[in-house]
Amino acid sequence: MTGQGIGTRCVQGGYTPGNGEPRQVPIIQSTTFKYDSSEAMGRLFDLEAQGYFYSRLQNPTCDHVASKIAQMEGGVAGMLTSSGQAANFFALFNVCEAGDHIVASSSIYGGTYNLIKVTMAKMGVSSTFVPSDASEEELAAAFQPNTKALFGESLANPALTVLDIEKFARVAGEKGVPLIVDNTFPTPVNLRPLEWGANIVTHSTTKYMDGHGVAVGGAIVDGGTFDWMAHAERFPGLTTPDDSYHGIVYAERFGQAGAFITKATAQLMRDFGCTQSPQSAFYLNLGLESLHVRMPRHVENGQAVAEFLEGHPLVSSVNYPGLPSSPYYQLAQKYLPQGGCGVVSCELSGGRPMAEKFMAALRLAAIETHVADARTCCLNPATSTHRQLSDEELVAAGVPAGMIRLSCGLEDKEDLIADLSQALDACR
């Protein structure tokens, strides 16, 4: 599939049936796999032969879909995980351990922020957060001798900041650590971070990739561009013998292209078990088959809704990187020339009471803690995800009480705008 267009990779990547085999990716609903001799199975356990033995580690359905996502991102290897949270945890924990440190953009998904800031700290991994628009000097200053990764989101959920991937990649390269980019919102249809210098890409496939709100999942793709052996002392987990695998040295045995995903599978998936079910992988693949057709429509609707809201007197501000008024417009033009996604946020002039009235009046946009599927939905962070914060704390966190996050689905934009318009009228 290398060299094929993104649409062809979405539709046909990762699975090529042989003569008389199922045209659609088969769901291999089996926990285990049968062998003729224990010797043959032993070779699999020692990672000496390729094959399946237990679906906690690997399953053919999941592998086909992971391979499709790797092809879409232009990477060399991929794996599925049970959720986006698991994908980000595995991607980070695959390169660090207790005593190590991570530098991350502060403009990231709340769940990932908690994971890094609170939970990984309990595991002995400390972190420093930097603004996503920090200068190269500020970024470099956040590094410590024990820093093992730089992390950011290509188009942040929910702040919609656009990451200057080339800048982050330059600093990561100078410091000799991989740049890990969560590419959930743009998807590889709109942005491929590996092409801009990121080393590893993660996804919450729960969002646009699935796109129909049916299956929670995650994915990790390795670009194969990070030379672990050149920084052997910094990454002992990849460059020194793994006692739990008879002394295998991942970077030696599997090379630059295979080390990262093999270790994450053989070690982290084995021990943490955050595996995706073959049934979920099948649903995910159905979503991927139309991702290149759906993303332009999400962008078209997001742009139209953002422009409508920006011109409305009851809306005090709109945040969408496709608007020239956005501070991220220039970066969006560079990294997201075909647009980013269908998520738009705006602040209503009447604060919390107006937000409540507005949302109650919407007919098409449903109130949900979800984004990025076919049906338009909305959320007022102040009364849901950020409910525990006071109005002052909400302003400090960049989510004022009157803020609404809208995820534009695949409906007709005229109908979405009519719905928003009548709901705004109801607030007058």
Q: Which residues bind ligand PLP (CB under 6 A)?
A: 83-85, 109, 111-112, 153, 157, 182, 184, 204, 206-207, 216, 218
- Cα–Cα distance, 57 to 94 (Å, whole number): 15
Query: Strand, helix or coil at 41?
Result: helix
- Residue closer to ligand PLP, measured from CB, 117 or 253: 117
- Residue closer to ligand PLP, measured from CB, 266 or 274: 274
| Spatial CA neighbour of 149 closest among 168, 122, 121 | 168
DSSP 274-336: -PPPHHHHHHHHHHHTTHHHHHHHHHHHHHHHHHHHHT-TTEEEEE-TTSTTSTTHHHHHHH-
- Residue closer to ligand PLP, measured from CB, 111 or 173: 111
Backbone angles phi, psi at 12, to 5 degrees: -115, -5
- Residue closer to ligand PLP, measured from CB, 186 or 237: 186
Q: Which DSSP state fits 158? A: T
Q: Tell me the two tokens of residue 45.
A: 């356990």
Q: Which DSSP state fits 108? A: S
- Residue closer to ligand PLP, measured from CB, 161 or 239: 161
Residue in the shown chain whose Cβ atom is closest to ligand PLP? 84
- Cα–Cα distance, 33 to 55 (Å, whole number): 9
* Least distance to ligand PLP, CB of residue 284, Å: 11
* Least distance to ligand PLP, CB of residue 270, Å: 20
Instruction: Provide the sign of the torsion angle of the four alpha carbons 405, 184, 373, 383, taken in this order.
Output: negative
- Residue closer to ligand PLP, measured from CB, 249 or 344: 344
- Residue closer to ligand PLP, measured from CB, 95 or 163: 163
* Least distance to ligand PLP, CB of residue 360, Å: 25
* Least distance to ligand PLP, CB of residue 344, Å: 15
For residue 88, count other CB atoms closer than 10 A to its CB: 28
Sheet holding 403-407, edge to edge: 315-319, 343-348, 403-407, 377-379, 366-367
- Cα–Cα distance, 350 to 282 (Å, whole number): 45
